[in-house]
């Protein structure tokens, strides 16, 4: 069984229990327990390997967003917080990840941007970000 202490951050664009634990804490959920984090991983982990891939991670957090806000406002707010208002660059994304206490290599950040960068500009545009966060990103790539 995976534990918060045994998860390895920053491997193959997956998020383990330890990373989720720190992300939740950074988001103000200081009372989250190891057991709750393990339940989250279990709920989201389609592979059964004790890891959550980027898409599973985004889907999980999209479900946690407050319902009373206007549709799309959370996505817009997140884009503004991470990027410069026009796009999310390599440096913007790396800084946001590191600020959550997650170690990340430049190559991993580059791969994340490549995955989300539908318009192939080397950055994540507002539209790329909206598609990625609304789970239409995968459908757009496949068609």
Where along the chain do its domains lie? Answer: 1-64, 66-143
- The list of the chain residues with pLDDT below 50 reads 1-11, 137-141, 143
Q: What is the pLDDT of residue 74?
A: 76
Q: What is the pLDDT of residue 70?
A: 64
Q: What is the pLDDT of residue 3?
A: 36
Superfamily of domain 1-64: EF-hand (1.10.238.10)
β partners of residue 52: 15
CATH of the domain spanning 66-143: 1.10.238.10
Q: What is the pLDDT of residue 2?
A: 36
Q: Helices 73-82 and 126-133 meet at what angle, rounded to 10?
A: 130
Do 1-64 and 66-143 fold alike per CATH? yes
Q: Per the structure block, which two tokens stand in for 95?
A: 């800084």
pTM score: 0.48
CA dist., res. 37 & res. 56, Å (int): 14
C-beta of residue 22 within 8 angstroms of C-beta of residue 5 = no
């Amino acid at each position: 069984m995976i534990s918060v202490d045994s998860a390895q951050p920053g491997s193959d664009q997956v998020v383990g229990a330890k990373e989720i634990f720190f992300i939740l804490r950074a988001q103000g959920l200081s009372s989250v327990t190891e057991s709750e984090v393990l339940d989250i991983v279990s709920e989201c982990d389609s592979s059964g390997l004790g890891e959550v891939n980027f898409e599973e991670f985004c889907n999980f957090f999209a479900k946690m967003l407050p319902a009373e806000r206007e549709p799309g406002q959370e996505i817009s707010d997140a884009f503004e917080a991470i990027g410069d208002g026009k796009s999310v660059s390599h440096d913007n994304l790396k800084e946001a990840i590191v600020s959550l206490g997650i170690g990340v290599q430049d190559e991993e950040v580059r791969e994340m941007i490549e995955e989300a960068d539908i318009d192939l500009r080397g950055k994540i545009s507002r539209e790329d970000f909206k598609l990625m966060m609304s789970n239409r990103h995968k459908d757009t790539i496949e068609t």
